[in-house]
Chains A and B, each alone.
Chain A
Amino acid sequence: DIQMTQSPSTLSASVGDRVTITCRATQSISGWLAWYQQKPGKAPKLLIYKASGLETGVPSRFSGTGSGTEFTLTISSLQPDDFATYYCQQYSSYPLTFGQGTKLEIK
């Protein structure tokens, strides 16, 4: 199985900051990576697919890069609504696997 590891686990930042979350795979997944945002008590929401594709309706301050085993999610200027937990997910092969999450907190 492909394991996904995110860093950091927790990130403290302020409104307006630029933040980056990293996701690493234990083997190459090409660009088959998605990013989700989850708020407490809610379902995950798709932000990015195929490493860098922005889902319809997602603000352009979110961007994704990477290929192979290393990927990043960047939020260019944090907004109050962005404080949440973020997960990466590989879909190169079954079983689909998620990272353990990065909780973005208000500093």
Chain B
Amino acid sequence: EVQLLESGGGLVQPGGSLRLSCTASGFSFSTYAMGWVRQAPGKGPEWVSTLSSSGSNTYYADSAKGRFTISRDNSKNTLFLQMNSLRADDTAVYYCAKDPAGGSYPYYFDHWGQGTPVTVSS
């Protein structure tokens, strides 16, 4: 059974940083691209970033470019999202999600974690 478990969310002041983690199990982590999707309160999902299986190809939403960095450690089955210069409009639940392919092309997400909440407020 595919399981994705996010951690690292919390309350942070504007301009601060957070590092989200997602620990995966139940599948061959190093074979699949992985991504982050966020959802602000009362809003629809918003794609944030995708990382290819090898870690060599990264894709970002404009809202994340220059501030967020996606990375992975395939030896530890873990995906990361380093978020810097956080703003109030980054407040959302952040989901880790599995891509059904290796990451050469854009895809949908076939499994999602339960999400970790991030609140940016003073």
Interface size class of A (residues with CB under 8 A): 20 to 34
Looking at the assembled complex, report how far the CB atom of B54 sits from the nearest CB atom of chain A, in whole angstroms.
18
Number of CB contacts from chain A to chain B under 8 A: 55
Chain A CB count within 10 A is highest, among B45, B47, B50, B62, for B45
Interface residues of B in 87-122 (CB under 8 A from A): 95, 100, 105-115
As a 0/1 sequence over residues 59 to 95 of chain A, the CB contacts with chain B under 8 angstroms (1 = contact) are 0000000000000000000000000000101011111
Whether B106 contacts A44 by the Cβ 8 Å rule is no
Out of B44, B47, B108, B115, which one reaches A46, CB within 8 Å? B108
- The smallest beta-carbon distance between B33 and chain A, in angstroms, is 11
Nearest CB of A to B84, in Å: 20
**Cβ of A93 and Cβ of B44 under 8 Å apart?**
no
| Chain A residues within 8 Å of B110, by CB | 46, 49, 55
B107: chain A residues at CB < 8 Å are: 91
Report if A13 contacts B (CB, 8 A).
no
Nearest chain B CB to A24 CB, angstrom units? 15
A53, closest chain B residue (CB) = B108
Q: Are B109 and A98 in contact (CB under 8 A)?
A: no
Tell whether, in the assembled complex, residue B112 and residue A92 are in contact, meaning their CB atoms are under 8 Å apart. no
Contact assessment for B112 and A43 in the assembled complex, using a CB-CB cutoff below 8 Å = yes
Min C-beta distance of B113 to chain A, whole Å: 7
Question: What residues of chain B have their CB less than 8 Å away from a CB belonging to chain A?
Answer: 35, 37, 44-47, 50, 59, 61-62, 95, 100, 105-115
Q: Nearest 6 pairs between A and B by C-beta?
A: A34-B108, A43-B112, A96-B47, A91-B106, A101-B44, A98-B45
A contact residues vs B (CB 8 Å cutoff): 32, 34, 36, 38, 42-46, 49, 55, 87, 89, 91-101
Pairs A–B under 8 Å by Cβ, sample size 30 = A34-B108, A34-B109, A38-B45, A43-B95, A43-B112, A43-B113, A43-B115, A44-B37, A44-B45, A44-B95, A46-B108, A46-B109, A46-B110, A46-B111, A49-B100, A49-B108, A87-B44, A89-B47, A89-B108, A91-B105, A91-B108, A92-B106, A94-B106, A95-B62, A98-B45, A98-B46, A98-B47, A99-B44, A100-B44, A101-B44
